[in-house]
Amino acid sequence: MSFIKCECGHQNPEGTDICQNCGRPLSKEEKSKRLADMRYDGAAIRSKTHKRSIVDKIWNFFSSVKIGVSIIIAILVASAIGTILPQVFYVPATSEAQAAQYYEDNYGLFGKIYNALGLSDLYGSWWFMTLVGMLGISLVVVSLDRGIPLYKSLKNQRVDRHPSFLKRQRLYGEGNVQDPDAVMQKAAEKLKEKRYKIREKNGALLAEKGRWARWGPYVNHLGLILFLFGVMLRALPGFYVDESMWIREGEISAVKGAPGLYLENKGFSFDMYTQENTNEVFSEAIDRVGSVASNYQTDVALYETPEGALPGSTNAELVKEYSIVVNKPLKHEGFHIFQMDFKLDELSAMTFALEQKESGESLGELTVNLADPQKEYDLGNGAKVELLDYYPDFSGFEDGEPQTATPVPNNPAFLFKMTTPETPEGETSFVAIRQTLEPLGENTYKLAFQSADTRDVSGLTVRKDKTIPVIALGGLIFMIGVVQGSYFNHRRFWIRKSDDGRIQVAGHTSKNWVALQRELDAVTEHAGLPAYTDQRDKEGHSDKSEGVSNT
Amino acid sequence: MNLVDLSGNLLFTAFVAYLAGTILFGGAVKGSKNEASASNKRWGKLGITVTIIGFLAHLSYFITRWIASGHAPVSNMFEFTTAFGMLLVGAAILFYFLYKSPLVGLFALPIAIVILGYAAMFPRDIQPLIPALQSHWLTIHVITAALGEAILAISAVVGLIYLLKNIDLTKKSKERTWLEFIMFTLVLVLGFIVVTVGFRAAGYEAAFDYVDKNGAQAEVVYHMPALFGMNEYSAKTEGTMQPLAEMPAIINAKTLTTFTWSVITGIILYFLIRLISRRRIAELVKPLAVKANSQLMDEIGYRSVLIGFPVFTLGALIFAMIWAHEAWSRFWGWDPKEVWALITWLFYAAYLHLRLSRGWEGRKSAWLAVIGFAIIMFNLVAVNLVIAGLHSYA
Ligand code: HEM
């Protein structure tokens, strides 16, 4: 690495803007500026010094804030595009073809193009993930690129900077005073009172406070990196479980994704606000809106097979009983079980009577449990009904064969064989809701629908997310960093006396210049420092009270 | 008087106080020359006193309504928007004390007034909470997010002052056009209020049957003459205007009708103002801004983003994620409202980086602040009413 030698004799690494020792401007660019560029205290950052190799080029790409902002804006724009139409996971479709159909049916040509371009699954697309990945890389690179030189530069600060360094600060004043030493001493007093750390050397003074605020951006970037890392972890097996399950009232079912856990649905309830059961302040709203849901609740019992039990063994022990409601999931061993959905009044059983068609005389009744139908129902006295086939969600005939759309008993249909003493050969009957067919010719007997039982079904979601601690830590660190960098600032004053009795004073802050000025005002008044100006304020110092009433 | 009525009266008191505060701050700014004069001080003090009284009344509205309903009043459009107006005034008071600039109050109060007017157009009855909203996180998340947005909005307020002062309105330029466009959007909101109040006073009502996007039969009641009809509509009320055009099921024709009426009224209002004053609205307002110190406005703008950004992050992203994790089983689901909170956050992150490293201060920074506010408003208005997601307030 080559060095630049400053007039003061200090060897600075190539790319340094401001001499790290005395503070003279070094680079041509820096010399041409009226005010010092204090962003990294003029230290050389890696991306400004290494420009040759491929690694340097990649490094420089990701360390550029211009690129960083471009990535942020690209993610922003992409995110916005993803909200124009609902994303595919909010669309009622179970296959890609169905989804494509949905977009076309509902949103016409625009929807078709939107879906075809992959915008309907924008946030899961490779290019969106690449953008987020680039953001992560950029954060790592930029933090190393600038953080390290900034740290070194602030750690090795010299007290007696060159006069040109002071002159090139935004807040600057100079002038003759009666007794420079007394002024310096009084200034130091006042600054100490304001909790500045004071260092003095060769008639120069450096007062500094809040340096730690400078690390704020680095801390918050670290938090973001950790957060993104946590999100990435999800892709690993075992870190993330996300299942949904339907469970009927009265049923016990294995918890999906959680081996060894079983859940019993002891009852689902769904409540509404009514004029009677709520506070009267709500009555107007209930009148206006009509029905408003007040609660969805599944009462459950959770069972667990003891550790080491044989697979498939049924000696599960009760863990706890709990009422899952929205906003209050059941929590057990890192698993969360949420109330997400429900179906009211699903058919659970149907009762039929075996009747002689002509006389209407009944030979007895049978009840088919729709979740677990029997093969044969013996009605006694030589009458029996066999269930040849069962179609839980009958959707019509295809090539003469009855079809079922789903395994859910939404529209049950049955193929029965009825045998009675009168018809020992047996008669076949196809029974669906409001429909009876006799495929093999006219029957003597029929199965007459008597009644149906229903029960509710709870839709639950099972989640386990081991990445949460990492993500939460990332969020916490981000918050600490962003508060550290935004609510605190790094303030410095340099005061310097020269042999001819002149005093120079300069001030710098990472942000909040008004507060810095107020502090300098107080010190100036107390110590009799020369008046200063804000060299950036184009409208001038005198203009300060414009639009300001109480100063 | 019961608690609910008391609460309503307190809100009205706040509204009146903000009007008075605007006038007093106007006096303070008008009275100031280069030096802070005595009269300016007195007007400024009066202005802030009245503003604080209004804010306290507003806060009392919030608390009494909270007590009456048993939940924080942030659960529907009216409540949320009203709370946002309150926090905006709170943020303006905070910045008044940080920087002692009456200009912030002078420009923030009218914006708060317009926001309150907008809020009042939505149903004001107290609604019981649906299951998804029954959580303490509703209170924590919404109030923190709204506070963050209110603080961020201050940067747009001072940004607007900066632009009004620094853009030359005598010469044709893109900036002049856009500045006037901002003024026009404010007039549009007024148009919405005027037309809503107008038809409400007339008691206009027209019911229609229609077929919704799931193919189900539904009913809708318009409170303005229907310019656009819902999908396969049929009129149920006799003697009302028939829609000019029928919309497909994915478009809420009622919202579109309200929007169109508001735009028509807004345009009429805008041209009336220009016809009578014979000037651009920006020119009418500019005299109030010319006394501003640009450097100070720029500093306040940056400071409000610095203060608001962490609050917004905490409320709109972190608390939101915690709640989503409790309620919906995932901390992030790419719901439109969530995405727009993310967009807002990314936007202000871009603002900070552009300012820090590319030196985007002053005018550029002011424009960005105004755009940021537009994004916040978009999330409040359009995403709620148009791009309906899980968060949509029915
Ligand atoms: C969404 C992502 C990001 C967020 C939320 C974020 C947040 C922040 C915040 C709050 C600051 C402090 C700003 C101030 O004090 O005015 C900051 C500073 C900074 N950020 Fe980021 N940042 C993000 C991404 C990036 C990226 C991608 C880059 C790089 C290319 C970057 C580079 C920087 C730099 C160089 C600083 C200044 C550091 C210093 O003052 O020493 N940031 N960032």
| A281 closest CB neighbour out of B126, B321, B358 | B126
Q: What is the mean pLDDT of residues B330-343?
A: 89
Between chains, do A487 and B127 touch, taking CB under 8 Å as contact?
A: no
Whether residues A483 and B310 touch (CB distance < 8 A) is answered with: yes
Reported confidence tier of residue A75, pLDDT bands at 50, 70, 90: very high
Residues in chain B: 394
Q: Give the integer Cα–Cα distance in Å for B133 and B326.
A: 11
Q: Calculate mean pLDDT across residues A454-472.
A: 88
* Model confidence at B266: pLDDT above 90: yes
CA of A369 relative to ligand 1 center, distance in Å: 63
**Inter-chain residue contact B346 with A80, CB threshold 8 Å:** no
pLDDT band at B154 (very low <50, low <70, confident <90, very high): very high
- Look at residue B350 in the predicted model and tell me its pLDDT: 96
Between chains, do B34 and A546 touch, taking CB under 8 Å as contact? yes
* A14-18 average pLDDT score: 83
- Residue range B83-90: mean pLDDT, rounded: 96
- Whole-Å CA distances, B367 to A69, B8, B375: 17, 36, 13
pLDDT at B304: 96
Does residue B371 have a pLDDT over 80?
Answer: yes
**What is the distance between the alpha carbons of residues A500 and B330, in angstroms, rounded to a whole number?**
70
Q: Whose CA is nearest to atom 39 of ligand 1?
A: A217
Residue A231 CA from chain centroid, whole number? 9
Distance from CA of A100 to the nearest CA of B (A): 16
Residue B130 to residues A280, A281, B67, B139: CA-CA distances in angstroms?
16, 15, 18, 14
CATH number at residue A203: 3.30.310.50
Chain centroid to CA A40: how far?
Answer: 32
Per-residue tokens: A440: 């093999």
* Banded model confidence at residue A547, pLDDT cuts 50, 70, 90: very low
Closest CA to A370 of A347, A342, A396: A347
Mean pLDDT throughout B345-374? Answer: 91
Q: Looking at the domain assignment, is residue A61 inside a domain?
A: yes
Tell me the shortest Cα–Cα distance from B321 to chain A, in angstroms.
10
- The minimal CB distance from A482 to the residues B131, B295, B309 is found for B309
- Average pLDDT (A266-275) is 83
Domain chopping of chain B, boundaries: 173-279
Quick one: DSSP state of residue B121?
Answer: T
Q: Read off the tokens for B363.
A: 């005018």
Q: Which residues of A517-537 are buried (b: 16+ CB within 10 A; e: fewer)?
A: bebbeebbeebbbbebebbeb
Residue B37 has pLDDT above 60, yes or no: no
Q: Do B347 and A76 touch (CB under 8 A)?
A: yes
Residue B238's Cβ-side half-sphere holds a number of Cα atoms within 13 Å equal to: 0
For residue range B204-223, list pLDDT tens digits in order.
Answer: 888 888 887 777 777 888 88
**Per-residue confidence (pLDDT) for residue A551, from 0 to 100:** 30
Are the beta carbons of A549 and B394 separated by less than 8 Å? no
pTM for the structure as a whole: 0.87
Position A520 in a domain: yes
Average pLDDT over residues A532-537: 82
Asked if A547 lies within 8 A of B353 by C-beta distance, the reply is: no
Q: Three-state SS for B248?
A: coil
The count of other CB atoms within 10 Å of the CB of residue A327 is 18
Ligand 1 interacting residues, C-beta cut-off 6 A: A 65, 67-68, 71-72, 135, 138-139, 142, 146, 150, 217, 220-221, 224, 482, 485-486; B 346, 349, 352-353, 356-357
Q: Which residues of B touch A548 (CB under 8 A)?
A: 36, 99-101, 293, 296
Tell me which chain A residues have a C-beta less than 8 angstroms from the C-beta of B130: 292-294
Confidence of residue A539 (pLDDT cuts 50, 70, 90): low
Per-residue burial over A389-428, b if 16 or more Cβ lie within 10 Å, else e, is: ebbbebeeeeeeebebeeebbbbbbbbbbbbbeeeeebbb
B275 CA: distance to closest CA in chain A (Å): 31
- Residue identified by tokens 């996300």 is A242
Q: How far apart are CA B12 and CA B17, in angstroms?
A: 9
Residues A34-69: pLDDT tens digits? Answer: 788 887 887 877 777 777 788 888 888 898 889 999
Which of A67, A83, A170, A342 best probes binding to B when mutated, by most B CB atoms within 10 angstroms?
A: A83
Q: How far does A408 lie from chain B, in Å, by closest CA? A: 21
What pLDDT is recorded for position A151?
A: 87
Q: B135 vs chain A: nearest CA distance in angstroms?
A: 6
Count other Cβ atoms within 10 Å, centred on residue B60. Answer: 17
Number of domains chain A contains: 5
CA of A232 from ligand 1 middle (Å) equals 21
Mean pLDDT, range A477-491, rounded to an integer: 95
Confidence of residue A549 (pLDDT cuts 50, 70, 90): very low
Contacts of A463 in chain B (CB under 8 A): 329-330
Listed in sequence order, the residues at least 6 apart from A426 whose beta carbon sits closer than 8 Å to its beta carbon are A386, A417, A418, A419
CA distance B247 to B243: 10
**In this prediction, what percent of chain A has a pLDDT beyond 70?**
96
Residue A369 lies in a domain: yes
Q: From chain A, pick out residues whose CB is under 8 angstroms from the CB of B324.
A: none
Minimum-distance CB partner of B100 among A282, A539, A551: A551
CB-CB contact of A175 with A36 (8 Å): no
**Given the CA of residue B346, which atom of ligand 1 is nearest to it?**
1
CB contact under 8 A, B339 and A82: yes
Residue type, B91: A
Contact A543 B34 (CB under 8 A): yes
A12: domain range? 1-42
Domain check: are A264 and A129 in the same one? no
- Cβ atoms of B122 and B78 within 8 Å: the answer is yes
Q: Which helix (H) or strand (E) holds A419?
A: strand A413-419
Smallest Cα distance from B132 to chain A, Å: 6
The answer, yes or no, to whether residue A500 has pLDDT greater than 60, is yes
* Strand-strand pairing, B228-229 and B245-246: parallel
**Cβ contact A294–B131 (<8 Å):** yes
For the CA of A65, the closest atom of ligand 1 is 30
Give B159-171 pLDDT, tens digit per residue. Answer: 999 999 988 888 8
Q: Is the pLDDT of residue A521 over 50?
A: yes
Which of A74-88, A309-323, B61-75, B292-306 has the weakest average pLDDT? A309-323
Residue A227 pLDDT exceeds 90: yes
Query: A240 to chain B: which residues are within 8 Å by CB?
Result: none
Q: Which residues pair with B222 in a beta bridge?
A: B206
Q: Is the pLDDT of residue A121 over 50?
A: yes
Q: Quote the distance between the C-alpha of residue A351 and its chain's center.
A: 50
CB pairs under 8 A between A and B: 194
pLDDT of residue B112: 94
Query: Atom 37, ligand 1: which residue's CA is nearest?
Result: A217
CA of A65 to the centre of ligand 1 (A): 8
Q: Which residues contact B318 (CB under 8 A, 6 or more apart)?
A: A475, A479
> Mean pLDDT throughout A151-167?
85
**What's the CA-to-centroid distance between A220 and ligand 1, angstroms?**
8
Identify which of A139, A226, A227 to mutate to test ligand 1's pocket (most ligand atoms within 8 A of the CB). A139
- Per-residue confidence at B391, pLDDT binned at 50, 70, 90? very low
pLDDT of residue B33: 60
Distance A361 CA to ligand 1 centre (A): 85
Give yes or no: residues A466 and A337 share one domain: yes
Point out the residue among A108, A475, A547 whose CB comes nearest to the CB of B296. Answer: A547
Specify if A252 maps to a domain: yes
Tell me whether residue A3 is in a domain.
yes
Ligand 1 atom 6, closest CA: B349
Instruction: Kindly determine whether residue A285 and residue B295, on different chains, have CB atoms separated by under 8 Å.
Output: no
Mean pLDDT of B50-79: 92
Which pLDDT score is estimated for B278?
Answer: 87
Cβ-Cβ contacts under 8 Å for B53 (sequence gap 6 or more)? B17
**Is residue B1 predicted with pLDDT exceeding 50?**
yes
**Residue A254 within a domain:** yes
Does residue A325 fall inside a structural domain? Answer: yes
Distance between Cα A153 and ligand 1 center (Å): 19
Q: Rank A70-74, A320-324, B247-251 by mean pLDDT and report only the highest.
A: A70-74
In the predicted structure, residue A153 carries a pLDDT above the cut 70: yes
Distance B356 CA to ligand 1 centre (A): 9
Q: Write down the mean pLDDT value for chain B.
A: 87
Confidence (pLDDT) at B45: 85
Average pLDDT of the residues in A257-261:
83
What is the pLDDT at residue B91? 96
Name B367's Cβ contacts closer than 8 Å, sequence gap at least 6: B159, B163, B178
User: Nearest-CA distance from B271 to chain A in Å?
Assistant: 31
Cβ atoms A460, A245 nearer than 8 A = yes
The confidence score (pLDDT) of residue A314 equals 63
Residue nearest to atom 14 of ligand 1 (CA): B352
Domain check: are A35 and A17 in the same one? yes
Name the residue among B45, B132, B292 with its Cβ closest to that of A546: B292
What beta strand segments (E) does chain B contain?
206-211, 217-222, 228-229, 234-235, 245-246
Q: Is B250 close to A543, i.e. CB distance below 8 A?
A: no
Q: Please give the helix or strand (H or E) that residue A5 lies within, else none.
A: strand A3-5
Residues A63 and A204 both lie in one domain: no
CB contact under 8 A, B350 and A123: no
Q: Give, using CA atoms, the residue closest to atom 27 of ligand 1.
A: A68
CA A44 to chain centre: 37
Identify the band that residue A543 occupies on the pLDDT scale cut at 50, 70 and 90. very low
| Cα→Cα distances A203→A199, A498, A501, Å | 10, 8, 11
Whether the pLDDT of residue A313 is over 70: the answer is no
Q: Is residue A486 part of a domain?
A: no
Helix (H, G, I), strand (E, B) or coil at A503: strand
> Can you tell me which residue has the tokens 């159909």?
A101
**Within this chain, do residues A245 and A334 fall inside the same structural domain, yes or no?**
yes
- Please answer whether residues B194 and B268 qualify as being in contact, where contact means their C-beta atoms are separated by less than 8 angstroms: no
Mean pLDDT along residues B25-32: 76
Burial tier of B254 (Cβ tally within 10 Å: 0-12, 13-18, 19+): buried
Mean pLDDT of chain A: 85
In this predicted structure, the answer to whether residue A261 has a pLDDT above a threshold of 70 is yes
Tell me how far the alpha carbon of residue A263 lies from the centroid of ligand 1, in angstroms.
48
When pLDDT is averaged across residues A162-190 and rounded to a whole number, the result is: 86
Q: Read off the tokens for A286.
A: 């209930």
CB atoms within 10 A of CB A499: 7
**pLDDT given at position A311:** 60
Confidence of residue B75 (pLDDT cuts 50, 70, 90): confident
